[in-house]
Structure formats: C-alpha cells, structure tokens
Amino acid sequence: MTKTSPARGGGDGWSVVVRNQDAVLAGLARGECDGILPDEWLEPDNLVQTALEEGFLDLFGDFPDRRQRRSIDHTLFCKVLLCGRLVDAPSVAETGRVVFHCATLLDKLGFNFRMVREGGRRSGDHRPFDEEALEDFFAALTPQHFFSHQVRVSQELRQRPGLQEHVWVLDCQDTAIPNGHHRGGYHWKSAVLSVCTKAGPLPVLWRFGKAPQTADLTLGRPLVRRAHLAWGRGAIRWLILDAGFVDGSWLRRLKEQGTDTVIRIKEGMDNYEAAVRQAQKAPVRAWQSVALPKRRKAEARPLRREVLGLVDQPGWEGLDLPISVGVVRDTYADTVEYWALICTQPDLSGAAIYALFRRRWGIEECFMALARYHGINDLFPCRPGLALALIHFTLLAHTLRYLCLLARAAHQPWPRTKYLVVYWAGYYALLHASQVFEQVFDHMELWQGRQAAILEALRYCEGG
C-alpha cells in the first residue's frame, strides 16, 4: 500500500492510513492523538471482511490505468470504490465517513477510511489520497475499459457457487447524471447480462453506451458475443429477452452457438398476429391457467391468466428456424388481452415457455433494488468516467453482496478482540488499554497541556 497521511487543511475529506505501532506510540509520548476507537465488528466490517477473504478485493490487478504518474497503486482506487458501494455509501465523499473499526480487518486491508481533521501537515513521501485523486483516476476511463476488465472478472464470477446456472437475462438500465446547477445532464445506458439464481437475476457482465441514442440491440449483441467467446459454448443455455431485442438473424446465430432464446414479440408483427389468430381458434381445454401476476395496487390486475402452446411453428424471415410459441391470454372485467412469446426450442410447451419468461421479471426487481436501495439512479453531478465507475462498481457490488452472504452463512461469528484502535497523523496502532494509559501516565504534563485539543480530537473521531 502507498503510505499516506491525512489530507488536513483540505476541509472535510478522507485519507488512507497505515499501521505503524512505533509512530503512534511516539505521538502519544508527545501528547498527540487524533482519535481512539474500540476494536469491534460492525456490519460494514463483516461485509468487507468477507469480500476480502473471498478474494473479491484482489480482482483489480489488471484494471486499466491511464495515468502518467502512478505514485498511488491503482488497485487502491478500485478497492476504495468497491468498499464504498458494498456498504451503500451514497457518494465518494461519504465513503470517507465509513469507519472500519475491526483490528483484524485493518490488518488485512492495510488501510481504513476515516474522517480527517483540518490543519495537518504533509511531508516526506506521504502522499495524500483524497477523493479528487480517485475522481481523476476514473475520469480518464472509457466504457470499453470497464467492459474489457469485467469480461475477465466475469470468468471468475461464473465459477462461484450460486452463479453456475444456465438461464440468463439480458436487459438495459438507464442512469441519469445531473449537471450540477445547470439544467439538463446526460445519461448512460447499461446493457446487463444477468444469471438467474435463487435470489433472482444477478449482474455478471455489462456494457455501457450513451443514452438515448444507443439502441438496446446495439449494446446487447456485442455483449452476448463477447460472453460466448469468453465463457465458451453452452455457458448460456437459455437467454430471456424482451421485445426490444427482436432480431431474427441474431437469434438464429445464438441458436447455432448453443443458446436458445425466449423473447416477447411486439404487437403488430406478422408472427404475433398469426399466433393470436391461431390461439383464438383453439378449444377451451387447450388453455392452461397460471398464477396471476403481482402488480402494484394502482395497476390493473387480470381476473384470469392462461397460456397456450403452439409447437413446431415456422419462423420468420431472418430467423429461418422452427419455433414454439406461447400465447398468454389475460382476461379483465371488460376486455381480453393477448401477448406472445417465441422460443427457439421448437417442442417446448406453452407452460414451459411462460415459466422461463417469468424469470425475466426478476431483472425488473433487481433494477428496482439497485435504484431504491443502492443508489444507482441517484448519482451526483460528476464527470462521465467517474459516473461510469459508480455504475460499474454498484453493479459489481450487487452481485458480490450476494456471494458474501452465501459465504458468511458458513462462517462462525467474528471473534471479539481486546484492542483499541489509536490514530495519529497518517497511522493507526492496535494497543491494549494499558499501553495507552502507560503513555498518559509517563507524560502526564504533556497530556494535561494539550487536554482541550486531545478531547476535541477524540470526540470528533467518535462522531460527537
């Protein structure tokens, strides 16, 4: 880790501190102390500790670095931002207010985040690590940098227990970035390839483009192509798509690569009209009732939902493959609505097609959770590269949180230790209470002379 000292004098910021027992003890001998906190496990500690033990903070050794001067290890920027997104810090600045108290965690990370006080010194080789440096690092990156690195990370994620499923969902998410005090702003669109798990779809690979000018298909096709190249044939057995991805020739190529698709087709397409006409002529006994959809109270809910399967149907121009069709009929009090699902497996039943497509609805819940609980749609005004980084690490953190919960289920509670975490300048030390009091008693006059400043520092560190 790069040695750093608190960026005092820069207002409310944050820094990285490193462990140095001797430096802290020497500071205590001069009556100098920036804060004392108990060594205890908090929820952020548990989460980051698990991510550390699972190797998730070691994924960034080959992360792109476009800086000319590289005095700070580039992996540190990635670790800092990932930790912040794991614990839902709403901004880069707020990340600095997340305090990791546990001594074991501090030892393994080699640093922790903390609020810093004003009026400090910078000297020697201690380079301050502040949020401006982090913003500058990510601002230089483009969508392709994030995508290329995530392709490699996705190969590791796919090997994790809980992510080794074969049903995948592709959908797009739009993120608006405001423009400070000015009107307007800009948007990034994320095409997200998610694996369907017991907890719902989880993002594994994504690709960014500018919104709204970049179409879903424009982002989605290269994303899936790169996934096939990286993961191999058969890794994506089923791909569930919405109507925005209708492209017959592309679906045919996916079939040739070992991926069958289920896709909703748009009302008005020839194959939609043909399927509905055929369904309307089907006998009543051919329809199968399924559970009603869950909807918000303000949304209309059908009285009955039924599905009908049409197997071994002809494809359309460009697709040129036999298909199966699932027609869904929703009966309301005053109307009947139809919608159609196409499947490139020609012998699949209507109920099976519908069951597969239902898994796509989980991506809506996933995007809702990312927006409501993890702030992916609440970004602050920032440069495009940093906005990409915040979106990128929010998506990554969402999946890693799930993997951490799986790993934590097999762990015993973290042990409690008997240390105090003592801060001075750019350092921290793990000391017994007796060691702290020994310094106070041995240098009582110095401590009494600086009583007001020391108490102020302690209360500031405690959040008082």
Strand locations in 166-233 (E): 167-178, 185-197, 200-211
The answer to whether residues 331 and 431 belong to one domain is: no
When divided into structural domains, the chain yields a total of 2
The answer to whether residues 337 and 430 belong to one domain is: no
pLDDT of residue 188: 95
Peptide bond into 212 cis (omega under 30): yes
Question: What is the enclosing helix (H) or strand (E) of 339?
Answer: strand 336-343
* Residue type (1 letter), 141: L
Domain end: 295, 319, 346, which one?
A: 346
- pLDDT, averaged in runs of 10, over the chain (464 residues): 31 59 94 84 72 90 90 82 82 59 55 34 40 87 97 95 93 89 82 94 96 92 97 94 93 95 91 91 94 82 93 85 94 93 95 94 89 87 93 96 86 68 85 93 93 87 68
pLDDT of residue 99: 41
The answer to whether residues 431 and 341 belong to one domain is: no
pTM of full prediction above 0.75: yes
Question: What is the enclosing helix (H) or strand (E) of 362?
Answer: helix 361-372
pLDDT of residue 117: 30
Angle at 254 between CA 250 and CA 258, to 5 degrees: 170
Using CB atoms within 10 Å of the CB of residue 256, give its burial: 0 to 12 exposed, 13 to 18 middle, 19+ buried.
Answer: exposed
As a residue count, the chain comes to 464
pLDDT of residue 184: 74
| Residue ranges making up the domain that contains 77 | 14-139+416-462
Task: Tell me how far apart the alpha carbons of residues 48 and 86 are, in angstroms, rounded to a whole number.
Answer: 7
Largest CA distance in the chain: 97
pLDDT of residue 298: 78
CB 211 within 8 A of CB 174: yes
The answer to whether residues 18 and 131 belong to one domain is: yes
In a domain, 308, yes or no: yes
The answer to whether residues 26 and 120 belong to one domain is: yes
In a domain, 116, yes or no: yes
In a domain, 80, yes or no: yes
The answer to whether residues 422 and 319 belong to one domain is: no
Domain end: 346, 366, 395, which one?
A: 346
216-231 and 143-157 helices, crossing angle to 10°: 40
Task: Tell me how far apart the alpha carbons of residues 28 and 6 are, in angstroms, rounded to a whole number.
Answer: 17
Domain end: 303, 325, 346, which one?
A: 346
Closest CA to 363 of 401, 392, 398: 398
In a domain, 112, yes or no: yes
